[in-house]
Amino acid sequence: MPSIRQLFLSHVAKTNEMPLMLEVDHAKGIFIYDTTGKKYYDMNSGISVSSLGHCHPAVVDAVTEQVQKHMHTMVYGEHIHSPQAKYAGLLTAQLADGLDWVYFVMTGTETVEVAMKMVRKYTGRTEIFSCAGAYHGSTYGAEALRSDIEFTMNFAPGVPGVRHIGFNNEADLEKITTKTAAVIVEPVQAESGVIPPVDDYLIKLKTRCEEVGALLVLDEIQTGFGRTGHLFAHQKYNVTPDILLVAKSMGGGMPIGALVSSEEIFSSMIKKPALGHITTFGGHPVSCAAAYATLSTILDEDLPSKVLGKEKLILEQLKHPIIREVRSSGMMMAVELTKRKYLKHVVAKCMELGLIVDWFLFNDRSFRVAPPLIITDEQIVEACSILRKAMDYAEE
Ligand code: PMP
């Protein structure tokens, strides 16, 4: 009988870099346990997914209750499911007017695909802007938003009509014109290594979009649900998008994503001739029940307001000679090292010492620190001491 590890290596397809090879047995709170019983601090939350930690009791209870009632019954939108309706009500209550309709999908990338279709249908324009260094997903539409041709050229031809502006580049805002359907942007660039917006860049971007009648789409797939110290980053940076995209931590570990916008913008999708957008599993009752428990817990425990204090503590604790700079927006952090060659050593040494961090897609000098929002001050101090130790080894 081959081992799980052998089966994984022989039969589970890899379409990206070699995996970290941690053989997961179970996970609870901020810890992941491997099959040998070794415990790891999870300091990246599965890339900003497990904000409530792993297997939060409120999420486990909600999922357990829902699977016993019903799972899939009929293709999205044709039956009324209470988890969907209740969640849409709770989410929109946290948002500004105009963000009051929710369309459910399963992943972050899908929210981007639907948004790209919707902005073209609603405005009747084709041009879409994204920012250099952005990551919005790996399907054809989302991939067209990437600026780095090296990543996309092997799959050409891609989706036409996409242009790029520099993130935080005010002069580039002039490129957005009356031909532009929308600008799709992350409020804090994630995979380029945590680049927060400068000054009132996002407000200026929104003003420019309004001047020319283009829509502002904010990808809060990493920044959403408290990660930056506000429930949503757009609330932190004082700008309301026309379309908000959320996923990742939304489901407390269950797969779900959503677009939030106005009735007016969504209604363009129904206008003939078009099938709008449909998807079999969007708004799955179990995922929506998990999302409701997740958001209720975030609100009840007022987690976003506690993030800034924890960010400060991590910044104080993360001092080391091989750190060049730490960039952060709340508990979304990039630790940039003085030399590129240290990066993989630090990540590997952390694994050995029982702590998980990883690297970014488009930054080969920084590692990600984005622990579950429920991490305690004591755990932060312990985890940072392991991180410093790992960096000591890299220096040698
Ligand atoms: N947008 C951003 C900002 C992301 O970080 C990601 C995933 N890393 C996506 C979109 C795509 O989400 P998913 O992997 O759930 O499709």
Q: Which CATH number fits domain 57-300: 3.40.640.10, 3.60.110.10, 2.60.40.1190, 3.20.19.10?
A: 3.40.640.10
Q: Is 87 in the pocket of ligand 1 (CB under 6 A)?
A: no
Lowest mean pLDDT among 31-45, 205-219, 269-283: 269-283
Q: Is the pLDDT at 320 greater than 80, yes or no?
A: yes
Mean per-residue pLDDT, 348-358:
96
* Residue range 4-56+303-395, CATH number: 3.90.1150.10
Confidence at 149, pLDDT banded by 50, 70, 90? confident
pLDDT score, position 20: 73
CA distance 128 to 126: 6
Confidence at 372, pLDDT banded by 50, 70, 90? very high
Mean per-residue pLDDT, 283-309:
98
List the domain boundaries for the chain.
4-56+303-395, 57-300
pLDDT score, position 199: 87
Q: Is 135 in the pocket of ligand 1 (CB under 6 A)?
A: yes
CA distance 187 to 223: 8
Closest approach atom of ligand 1 to CA 220:
3
Please choose, from the candidates 143, 91, 131, 75, the residue with its C-alpha nearest in 3D space to the C-alpha of residue 83. Answer: 91
pLDDT score, position 363: 93
Mean pLDDT, the chain, rounded, equals 95
The more confidently predicted of residues 18 and 41 is 41
Ligand 1 pocket test, pick from 248, 279, 361, 362 with the greatest ligand atom count within 8 Å of Cβ, gives 248
Interface confidence: ipTM more than 0.95: yes
Q: Is the pLDDT at 56 greater than 70, yes or no?
A: yes
This prediction has a pTM of 0.97
pLDDT score, position 19: 66
Output the DSSP codes for 203-256.
Answer: HHHHHHHHHHTPEEEEE-TTTTTTTTSSSSHHHHTT---SEEEE-GGGGTTS--
By three-state DSSP, how is residue 332 classified?
strand
